[in-house]
C-alpha cells in the first residue's frame, strides 16, 4: 500500500477549483484562482511513497509532456484519449477512481477542462496535489481576445515556445514534489525543450513558405489562435473557442463569403470536432461557384492515436504544420521535420 504522505492546504485546493468553476468569464476570478493554486501546490508535502510515482493527467498534450519529464520515475495515466474533446469531457467513475488513487495530478487549466471542476474539488478535498501546467506561464504569452469574454484562450500548446514553458513548470513541480529525482526531471525537461525548439523553428519555416495571398487557415473551431500568432498565419473558424457553443447560420454564411471573396483553396477539419460545419461551408461556397476542398485533418484539442508518432505532442504539431503548409501551397516534406509522419495516402 502506498504511503502518500500528508498534504496541507486541502481546503485551499478545493476553494481554488470552486473559484475556477464559478464565474469563468471573469478575469479577476481566474487570476485569483491562479494565486490560490500556486499557494495550494506549494503547501503540499514531498512524496513519501513507492516508485514509480502515480501521476494522473487530463488531455493528451499534458500527458505527453509529463511523461517526457517524469521518465521512469513516474507512471503517467492520461484520462483523455485520441479524438476526445476536453471542452465537453465529463469524467467517468473510473476517472474519479484514478484521480483519487493518484499521487499528483496535472491538467491544462485556463477553463479547458471546465466540466471536471466538481471532480477536482472532490480530489482536492482528499489532499491530492493538483496542478495546472499553465499556472506559472508568463501572462504575456497568453491570448485574451475580446471574444473570449474575459478569460484566456486555453489552447496554449498550439504555440510550441509557449508550451515549452509548461514543460519547465512540470519539471519544477515534480522536482519539488520528489526532490530525490530533481536532477532527472531537470535534465529530461532540458533535452525535451531542445527538441521543441527545433520543432518550433520547423513550423515557422514551413508555414512561412506558404504564398502570402493564400496563407489563411480555416478550421472548425477557434483553437488555432496561438498557432496563428506564433507562425504568422491568419485563422478563421466556424465555431468559437469552446465546442460547447454552437455555430449559427450567420457564422457559416460569413465564413463562406470570406472564402469566396478571398478564393481560399483549402480548409481543414479537426480530429476532435464534428465536420458538419466545415461541410456546410464547402457546400455554401459551391453554391456561389467556388470550389474549396478539405486540406486535411488537424489535431486541435486531442492528439493522434496512442502508440503512433502523431499520438505525441511533437507528432501532433509536426503533422499540423506539415499538413497546413502542403495543402496551402507551401514547401514541407511529406513525412515532416523528423521523417516520422504517416503520409496522407496511407
Radius of gyration of the chain (CA): 20
- Exposed/middle/buried for residue 38 (C-beta within 10 Å: 0-12, 13-18, 19+): middle
The fold adopted by the segment(s) 10-201 is: Rossmann fold (3.40.50)
Domain boundaries, the chain: 10-201, 210-327
Q: How many angstroms from the chain centroid is the CA of residue 50? A: 30
Distance CA 161, CA 228 (A): 13
Distance CA 273, CA 285 (A): 21
Measured CA distances, 334 to 220, 247, 319, 342, 343 (Å): 24, 33, 9, 8, 6
257-292 burial, b at 16+ Cβ within 10 Å, e below that, comes to eebbeeebbbbbbbbbbeeebbebbbebbeeeebeb
Quick check: bond before 52 cis, omega within 30? yes
CATH class as words, domain 210-327: alpha beta
| pLDDT tens digit at each of 346 positions of the chain | 343 333 333 333 433 443 333 333 333 344 434 433 443 443 456 898 899 999 999 999 999 999 999 999 999 999 998 878 888 888 899 999 999 999 999 999 998 998 888 888 888 888 889 999 999 999 999 999 877 777 899 999 999 999 999 999 999 999 999 999 999 999 999 999 999 999 999 999 999 999 998 999 998 877 899 999 999 999 998 764 444 445 567 878 888 999 999 999 999 988 766 567 888 888 999 999 999 999 999 998 889 999 999 999 999 999 999 999 999 999 999 999 999 998 875 6
- Is 10-201's fold the same as 210-327's? yes
Q: Which residues pair with 218 in a beta bridge?
A: 236
Judge contact between 186 and 171, C-beta under 8 A. Answer: yes
**What pTM did the predictor assign?**
0.83
DSSP letters of 126-140? Answer: TT--EEETTTTS-GG
Q: Which cell goes with 225?
A: 489562435
Q: Which cell goes with 276?
A: 458538419
3-state secondary structure of 54: strand
Judge contact between 130 and 33, C-beta under 8 A. Answer: no
Amino acid at each position: 500500500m502506498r504511503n502518500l504522505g500528508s498534504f496541507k492546504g486541502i481546503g485551499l485546493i478545493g476553494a481554488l477549483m470552486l473559484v475556477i468553476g464559478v464565474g469563468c468569464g471573469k478575469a479577476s476570478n481566474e487570476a485569483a484562482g491562479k494565486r490560490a493554486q500556486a499557494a495550494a501546490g506549494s503547501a503540499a508535502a514531498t512524496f513519501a511513497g513507492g516508485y514509480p510515482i502515480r501521476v494522473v493527467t487530463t488531455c493528451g498534450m499534458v500527458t505527453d509532456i509529463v511523461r517526457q519529464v517524469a521518465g521512469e520515475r513516474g507512471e503517467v495515466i492520461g484520462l483523455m484519449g485520441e479524438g476526445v474533446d476536453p471542452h465537453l469531457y465529463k469524467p467517468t467513475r473510473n476517472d474519479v477512481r484514478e484521480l483519487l488513487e493518484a499521487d499528483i495530478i496535472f491538467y491544462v487549466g485556463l477553463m479547458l477542462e471546465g466540466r471536471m471542476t466538481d471532480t477536482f474539488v472532490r480530489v482536492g478535498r482528499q489532499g491530492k496535489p493538483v496542478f495546472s501546467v499553465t499556472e506559472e506561464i508568463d501572462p504575456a504569452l497568453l491570448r485574451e481576445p475580446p471574444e473570449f469574454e474575459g478569460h484566456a484562450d486555453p489552447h496554449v500548446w498550439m504555440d510550441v515556445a509557449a508550451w515549452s514553458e509548461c514543460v519547465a513548470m512540470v519539471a519544477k513541480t515534480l522536482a519539488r514534489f520528489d526532490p530525490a529525482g530533481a536532477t532527472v526531471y531537470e535534465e529530461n525537461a532540458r533535452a525535451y525543450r531542445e527538441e521543441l525548439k527545433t520543432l518550433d523553428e520547423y513550423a515557422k519555416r514551413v508555414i512561412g513558405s506558404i504564398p502570402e495571398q493564400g496563407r489563411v487557415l480555416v478550421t472548425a473551431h477557434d483553437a488555432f489562435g496561438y498557432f496563428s500568432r506564433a507562425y504568422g498565419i491568419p485563422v478563421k473558424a466556424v465555431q468559437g473557442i469552446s465546442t460547447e457553443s454552437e455555430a449559427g447560420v450567420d457564422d457559416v454564411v460569413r465564413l463562406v463569403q470570406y472564402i469566396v471573396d478571398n478564393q481560399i483553396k483549402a480548409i481543414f477539419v479537426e480530429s476532435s470536432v464534428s465536420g458538419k460545419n466545415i461541410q456546410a461551408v464547402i457546400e455554401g461556397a459551391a453554391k456561389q461557384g467556388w470550389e474549396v476542398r478539405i486540406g486535411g485533418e488537424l489535431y486541435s484539442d486531442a492528439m493522434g492515436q496512442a502508440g503512433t508518432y502523431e499520438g505525441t505532442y511533437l507528432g501532433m504539431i509536426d503533422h499540423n504544420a506539415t499538413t497546413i503548409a502542403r495543402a496551402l501551397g507551401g514547401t514541407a516534406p511529406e513525412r515532416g521535420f523528423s521523417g516520422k509522419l504517416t503520409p496522407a495516402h496511407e
